[in-house]
Amino acid sequence: MEEQAEPETPLLQTTKIKRKKTAESKMKLTQVSEKPLDPDSTPELGAFDSSKESKSRRKRAMIDDLYDHAKVNSPVIERAEEVRANLAPSYPSFWKAMVKSNVSHGFWLHLPMRFCKFNMPKIDTVFIVENESGEEYKINYISQRTALSGGWKAFSDANQLYEGDVLVFHLVEPTRFKAYIVRANGFGNVNADAKPLNSVPMDDELEVAPKDHSEKRVKKNKRAKRVKPPPGFHRDNNQSNSLMLLETNNGHVEDQFNNDTEDLGPNKVLPHSESSNFKEMKSIDDFTILVDGLAIDHELSDQHRSKYYDLCCSQNSFLHDHLLKSINCKLAAEIITQTVNIAEAIRACNLSTSRADYEIWDKTLKGFELLGMNVGFLRARLNRLMSLAFESEESEVSKRLREVSAEQARAEEEMRSLELKLLRLKETMGRLDSELESLKVKAEKHELKFQEEANAPW
């Protein structure tokens, strides 16, 4: 791929594009500027597991082959090239055409491998993607997949992306993209004479839509998560191009990529309405646990996730839907896990379960309830069980039953002990009888011998 060229006038750029072969009916979906942020060195932002590289490349090659054979509207590509040509050449850029899996059901966006090799970090990192209006979105970058995952759906929904639209990405900072949208319907959020980044007004956005999607495009999506830029991020185009130290999420961003067109990824961001409408969940395959717009399913084991889904089904709602906003994903996952554990313990309890166990469970659930967790139905079940176990008339019968059973067990044990003692005494008696008979015989012989001696002739 060729490096980003110096900006040209719109007339020369248009003339250059028209020289392309008209017979070319299929174009690659990606055009990349390979120029790294630092021209003198290739960024080393983290360790890379080479043992998984070949498998990842083979799978990615299949995906790229699928994408490369998709038909793209050439005029849209030309407009995207014009926009890209007018961006500041000191920062790398590329364009990406939207396919169905990017905007309708897959919600992953694979980036060009060559671009990622030269410019992207080699560890999972949270990127800031800013649109032309200055609105910012957090999106997880999965380094092994060279793809944007969690958060991409929110960006796609908020910006009303459709199949055939083209996005021009401009890497203005190590973890920040500026995105320009070129619409496939002939109208775009940017025009062909786009100015360099340092002179593009942040609030300059054209929202024009075709008849069939006018309402969807014009209406702004208010549900997408907005974030403030992290400290140290500036829009000044004259800042140093040297790579800064990347701050990544604690722990590895789990990559559960199984199907490029179906899996939404473990950290996907969904609009609030999707997180609160449990009735749309037809099965556990549709079930996603969201906290502040982020999916935390990967924080739970499959067993806990399945049990939690059953609990939610019993109440026809997400039990965590009203957790306090200050609760982070890790704590929310722990609350859900402990809730499932207590629910299973309640299922497994019996009349021999101690009062202390019930009190500990109720105290824990009460704490979760104060944090916003919907566990009232579990506490109600606990109270009923405690009443049946310790406070009702039936509990006295059960108590007496346990006492009688214990007393009977003690009596049986004593009987067994006495029987064993009797057996030992019988054995002793038998041994003594035998010894007594033997001694009697010896005594008689001795007596006879004595009498013979006494009665012998003189």
Domain boundaries, the chain: 10-218, 272-391
Nearest to 384 by CA among 367, 362, 404: 362
Q: 394 falls in which pLDDT band (50, 70, 90)?
A: low
Range name among 79-88, 147-156, 255-264, 315-324 with the lowest pLDDT average: 255-264
pLDDT band at 401 (very low <50, low <70, confident <90, very high): confident
The mean per-residue pLDDT over the stretch 263-280 comes to 48
What percentage of the chain exceeds 70 in pLDDT? Answer: 62
| pLDDT at site 367 | 93
Q: Say how far apart CA 309 and CA 176 lie, in whole Å.
A: 36
Structure-block tokens of residue 164: 């055939």
Residues 6+ apart with CB under 8 A from 232: 244
Mean of the pLDDT values across residues 73-88? 85
Position 334 scores a pLDDT of 93
Give the SS3 label for residue 42: coil
pLDDT at 8: 53
CB atoms within 10 A of CB 142: 24
Give pLDDT, residue 274: 40
pLDDT range class, residue 262, cuts 50, 70, 90: very low
Confidence of residue 206 (pLDDT cuts 50, 70, 90): very low
- Between 26-30, 218-222, 323-327, the lowest mean confidence (pLDDT) is in 218-222
Tell how many helices (H) and how many strands (E) occur in the chain. Answer: 13, 10
pLDDT per residue as tens digits for the range 85-134: 998 888 999 999 888 878 876 667 889 988 998 899 999 899 999 998 88
Cβ contacts of 11 within 8 Å, gap of 6 or more: none
Let me know: does 285 contact 302? Beta carbons within 8 Å. no
For residue range 338-361, what is the model confidence (pLDDT) as tens digits? Answer: 999 999 999 999 878 888 999 999
Contact 197, 147 (CB under 8 A): no
On the 0-12 / 13-18 / 19+ scale of CB atoms within 10 A, 336 is buried
Measured between alpha carbons, how far apart are the two ends of the chain, in Å?
A: 146
Q: What is the pLDDT of residues 145-200, one digit of tens each?
A: 888 988 888 898 888 888 888 999 999 999 999 999 998 876 545 543 444 333 33
pLDDT higher than threshold 50 for residue 325: yes
Average pLDDT for the chain: 72
Contact between residue 93 and residue 37 where contact means Cβ atoms under 8 Å apart: no
pLDDT, position 233 = 38
The structure tokens listed for 384 are: 């009923």
- pLDDT at residue 14 above 60? no
Question: Where is pLDDT greater, at 377 or 27?
Answer: 377
pLDDT greater than 90 at residue 15: no
> Could you say which DSSP state residue 11 is in?
H
SS3 142: strand
Average pLDDT, integer, range 234-255: 33
pLDDT at 250 over 50: no
- For residues 48-68, average pLDDT: 48
On the question of pLDDT at 204 being above 80, the answer is: no
Read off the tokens for 390.
Answer: 């310790």
What pTM was computed for the model?
0.34
Quick one: pLDDT band at residue 279, thresholds 50, 70, 90?
confident
Q: How confident is the model at residue 68 (pLDDT cuts 50, 70, 90)?
A: very low
pLDDT at 57 over 80: no
Residue 129 is encoded by which pair of tokens?
Answer: 């993607």
- Check pLDDT > 50 for residue 212: no
**Tokens linked to 275:** 């997180």
- The beta-strand segments (E) located in 33-165 are 93-97, 109-110, 125-130, 136-142, 147-148
Looking at domain 10-218, its CATH superfamily turns out to be DNA-binding pseudobarrel domain (2.40.330.10)
Return the SS3 of 181.
Answer: strand
